[in-house]
Structure 1
């Protein structure tokens, strides 16, 4: 008998793609797809169970289907449908608590994979140039999805202590982009004009949604090595891009504003429902964030197909042309940058 894999968050594009992919693996006999919302996309031969992971019903599902592998993807920065921030927080935190409680009582569970984010490191002016998985965080996130992820990881560590027989992998993804992203940062890049913080040009990392699926499958099965690696892993494409470089590739102008003003702009965009321009995203677009991926390569054994630049190129190509020709915009920005004095991130 092959593995019985339960996947949460399947109504989202990423969850749906993973379900369709993992069921084709020879080591998998059945896939149980769970979400509180019926997906609009196909799930192949997976068995869909409409259930809210915030409710005790999830424990019955684990037992009924004799699940041995759980892939928790229902941790997201955006809510589905008309749900707002309150709903997404409840699903992220309370849903994770309920799921972990069910897994703890299910003796057949052998493997747990949890989707997390590099946002748990925060973004602060005195941060190290590169974060490793064990780098002490100088400024913990104080709100939004990043704070949810910190809490989720804390509950997962508690579960791992109580169930040392379960192999637990936490994947901290950099900003996920590609042709079909569903993230607040993708919504930011969709704006016709990109507001930026005056004097800052942060370094950013991205991971392609195709690589996300590949590393999830590897973490779920680890068939290449024949073992189940446990631990926390940064997942990102090679290299970095400056925020100014992303604007050039999109062919979009930027509007540098003072930090208090961009906070006001963020509140206005959030109120209008254009994008969830949260405080943590403003910090990212001010100070940036770069993570080390050595453990991803050496311990997990995963090498991304796409670099950060290639990921963003694929994303930009799927968006279509911007307001300005990228080549002309790049030349103009380069001339302006050469004429300006060094800023905080250019010193």
Structure 2
């Protein structure tokens, strides 16, 4: 379906009236082969299983073999930065490509010398493949950055700043490559899914690992608002984008927000306020402490800014155009993370309930005694007992 709002600036949206516009067969990539890059990631492997089970020809592409079963999809081990990727796409006649190499956590392509992000190389291969009619890029809401002067709620038509570091910078560069593809190939429909911070019981993600630390580092005097996306809802979003006709940029996040203090409490953790410049060093120290995971990856490229200002995005297009209604809110996603990973601590809801239950019972008994005493004091001589 076509978005009724003005197209997002710099989004690489195919304009109405051009080949590949949402609503045409080209916009959905037809029924031809569909390629998924980044298939070593558990979420992409699950997507490959799902789409292949529906009868679609699916190629699961990565530099490593997928860690999980891809079902009826065909595994193809290929250099995502080299010319062999283009040859595979051309030989198989791929009509739709979903690039998920930017997903955090899981098995990622092996480290290389400095150069363009993997996503940019994948998109360049798609641009040279004549059969490709639809490209979906998995990105992150991190491209919006964070700061005290940023809008309280970011919309897709906002002009995001250029991220300075981290995975957000790679995602921004990949989005720029997609805009270039859309200009050079007007017959190709393009879509960008900007996912909020992912969490899932069985999915290693930066935010999930951050909340699993023995204590959660935070910037002194700040309790940022965060949006969280459950892995199951992320999988649904990828499936809808790969098989649907949505174009342009779409923010994808769970409904509502959860503050860092709330998220930490749901995982039974206490928050450790430290100066902004020390949050990453503190996290690494806590990771190496007894009970810590041993290592930690900062959940955001610019950790200090996000832990000060937070980040919230508008999700109207997600509901109306992509057709996704997340089953879990941001808070519920964190709650499921805590249950699935067995995160229990002094602030866990169950622990708090058990701790205050005796006090609540004592308070209830005291209130009952006061009511009975008051009733006895108002009784008159001769009244029936």
Under TM normalisation by the shorter chain, which class is it?
0.7 to 0.9
Q: 1:97 aligns with which of 105, 113, 120?
A: 120
- The within-5 A match list for 1:145-184 is 145-184=167-206
Q: Distance in 1 between matches of 2:163 and 2:125?
A: 28
Q: Which moved more, 1:258-267 or 1:66-75?
A: 258-267
The match for 2:39 is: 10
Q: Which moved more, 1:251-260 or 1:274-283?
A: 274-283
The match for 1:280 is: 302
1:183 positional shift: 2.0
Q: Distance in 2 between matches of 1:122 and 1:330?
A: 38
Q: Distance in 1 between matches of 2:321 and 2:176?
A: 22
Q: Cα gap change, 1:120/1:81 in structure 2, threshold over 3 Å: closer, same or farther?
A: closer
The match for 1:120 is: 143
SS class of match (2:202): coil
Deviations 1:32-87 (A, max 9, x none): 11111112211111111111211110011011111111111111345737955x67
SS class of match (2:152): coil
TM-score of the two chains, using structure 2 as the length reference: 0.77
Q: Cα gap change, 1:270/1:79 in structure 2, threshold over 3 Å: closer, same or farther?
A: farther
Q: Distance in 2 between matches of 1:70 and 1:52?
A: 16
1:101 positional shift: 2.0
1:233 positional shift: 0.3
Contact 1:9/1:73 (8 A) holds in 2:
yes
The match for 1:107 is: 130
SS class of match (1:299): helix
Structure 2, unaligned runs of 5 or more: 1-29, 356-385
1:322 positional shift: 2.2
Q: Cα gap change, 1:211/1:279 in structure 2, threshold over 3 Å: closer, same or farther?
A: closer
Q: Which moved more, 1:261-270 or 1:181-190?
A: 261-270
Q: Cα gap change, 1:115/1:269 in structure 2, threshold over 3 Å: closer, same or farther?
A: farther
Contact 1:23/1:45 (8 A) holds in 2:
yes
1:270 positional shift: 9.0
TM-score of the two chains, using structure 1 as the length reference: 0.85
Q: Distance in 1 between matches of 2:220 and 2:151?
A: 22
Q: Distance in 2 between matches of 1:161 and 1:297?
A: 27
The match for 1:22 is: 51
Q: Distance in 1 between matches of 2:117 and 2:87?
A: 17
The match for 2:102 is: 75
1:283 positional shift: 2.4
1:95 positional shift: 2.3
Q: 1:210 aligns with which of 197, 222, 232?
A: 232
Q: Which moved more, 1:73-82 or 1:122-131?
A: 73-82
Contact 1:55/1:95 (8 A) holds in 2:
no
1:279 positional shift: 4.4
The match for 1:245 is: 262
1:281 positional shift: 2.9
Contact 1:263/1:279 (8 A) holds in 2:
no
Q: Which moved more, 1:7-16 or 1:75-84?
A: 75-84
Q: 1:312 aligns with which of 324, 334, 345?
A: 334
Q: 2:274 aligns with which of 253, 257, 282?
A: 257
Please, what is the CA RMSD of the aligned residues?
2.5
Is 1:194 the counterpart of 2:211 in the alignment?
no
Is 1:230 the counterpart of 2:247 in the alignment?
yes
Is 1:32 the counterpart of 2:54 in the alignment?
no
Is 1:302 the counterpart of 2:318 in the alignment?
no
Deviations 1:122-158 (A, max 9, x none): 1111111100011233x53210101111111111111
Q: Cα gap change, 1:47/1:193 in structure 2, threshold over 3 Å: closer, same or farther?
A: same
1:289 positional shift: 0.2
The match for 2:165 is: 143
Q: Which moved more, 1:295-304 or 1:63-72?
A: 295-304
Contact 1:251/1:329 (8 A) holds in 2:
no
Q: Distance in 2 between matches of 1:103 and 1:136?
A: 26
Q: Distance in 1 between matches of 2:347 and 2:279?
A: 26
Q: Distance in 2 between matches of 1:102 and 1:18?
A: 22
Q: Which has the larger radius of gyration?
A: 2
1:325 positional shift: 4.4
